[in-house]
């Protein structure tokens, strides 16, 4: 069912987006990421920037040896499009944080990205999940292709490309350290408390999702219309 047929617009904003929510008396206070903890958000942003800078470094050093600059250009273009247009549409437009006022995202992860789309209270659809998986995998994993290609090339031509070769090995090592850090803070922590419940990586228990939906009629109606059952 298409939730745009429902009279959802008249229902109140979700409690994360509503600055007047009574969080003090909320039974699930502390069990979800409902607020932006600046320290955590800054760590996430800095980690994300370092991850992308190291990925770009890998493509530059492998490009200096092999000359395949298309990899660098493709990566930079897709990263910019993913963070500014694609991810906000496919993933974030379904997130309770997206309903906050303002023209930019005010959440703990993609803070400051433009809100070009309307808020969608219903869960993320299967096709949106598949597309997000494709773009997410590309921006996170494609640097490994550049790293492996560059390191193999360096191994075969180490006399000619000593500087770029050593630089790509160091960049790849640092890249893997930051990748490990991200999986720890995301999969091991944030995904267990993230309020974008229909994201493929979300690990919030159904019981908690149901409690949140009970507090938020707009989301509840949209989710039930899409087949969600509240126990
Ligand atoms: S679920 Fe809503 S009301 Fe409860 S703490 Fe989070 S934002 Fe506040
Ligand atoms: S918390 Fe995640 S899903 Fe929600 S708006 Fe921010 S980046 Fe998007």
How confident is the model at residue 4, as a pLDDT? 47
From 14, 16, 100, give the residue whose CB has the most ligand 1 atoms within 8 Å, as the site to mutate: 16
Out of 7-21, 132-146, 166-180, least confident range = 7-21
CA of residue 186 to ligand 2 center, whole Å: 12
pLDDT of residue 139: 97
Q: Is 77 exposed, middle or buried (0-12, 13-18, 19+ CB in 10 A)?
A: exposed
Task: Please tell me the predicted confidence (pLDDT) of residue 155.
Answer: 96
Residue 92 Cα to ligand 2 middle (Å): 5
Q: Which ligand is nearest to the CA of 12?
A: 1
Model pLDDT, residue 2: 47
- DSSP-assigned letter for residue 67: -
End-to-end CA distance of the chain: give it in Å, rounded: 21
Contacts of 82 (CB under 8 A, 6+ apart): 135, 136, 138, 139
Given a contact cutoff of 8 angstroms between Cβ atoms, the answer to whether 219 and 14 are in contact is yes
Ligand nearest the Cα of residue 18 is 1
Measured from the CB, is residue 60 less than 6 Å from ligand 1?
A: no
pTM, full prediction: 0.90
pLDDT confidence of residue 151: 98
Least confident span in 42-51, 81-90, 171-180, 187-196: 187-196
23 lines ligand 1 (CB under 6 A): yes
Mutate to test the pocket of ligand 1, among 14, 29, 219 (most ligand atoms within 8 A of CB): 29
Helix H segments across 157-216?
162-186, 206-215
d(CA 54, CA 48): 10
Q: What is the pLDDT of residues 203-213, one digit of tens each?
A: 999 999 999 99
Pocket test of ligand 2: the residue of 109, 111, 120, 202 to mutate, having most ligand atoms within 8 Å of its CB, is 109
DSSP code at position 124 = P
List pocket residues of ligand 2, CB cut-off 6 Å: 91-92, 95, 97-98, 105, 107-110, 196
Tally helices (H) and strands (E) across the chain.
Answer: 7, 0
Ligand nearest to the Cα of 120, by number: 2
């Amino acid at each position: 069912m298409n939730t745009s047929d429902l009279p959802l617009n008249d229902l109140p904003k979700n409690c994360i987006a509503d600055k007047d929510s009574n969080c003090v008396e909320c039974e699930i206070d502390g069990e979800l990421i409902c607020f932006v903890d600046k320290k955590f958000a800054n760590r996430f942003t800095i980690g994300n920037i370092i991850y992308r800078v190291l990925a770009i470094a890998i493509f530059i050093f492998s490009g200096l040896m092999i000359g395949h600059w298309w990899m660098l250009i493709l990566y930079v273009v897709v990263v910019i499009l993913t963070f500014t247009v694609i991810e906000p549409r496919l993933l974030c437009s379904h997130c309770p944080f997206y309903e906050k006022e303002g023209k930019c995202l005010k959440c703990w992860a993609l803070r400051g990205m433009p809100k070009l789309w309307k808020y969608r209270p219903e869960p993320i659809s299967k096709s949106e999940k598949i597309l997000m998986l494709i773009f997410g995998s590309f921006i996170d994993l494609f640097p490994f292709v550049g790293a492996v290609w560059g390191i193999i090339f360096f191994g075969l031509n180490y006399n000619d490309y000593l500087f770029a070769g050593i630089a790509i090995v160091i960049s790849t090592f640092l890249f893997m350290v930051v990748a490990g850090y991200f999986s720890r803070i995301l999969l091991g922590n944030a995904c267990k408390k993230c309020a974008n419940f229909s994201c493929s990586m979300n690990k919030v228990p159904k019981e908690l999702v149901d409690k949140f939906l009970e507090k938020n009629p707009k989301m509840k109606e949209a989710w039930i219309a899409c087949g969600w059952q509240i126990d």
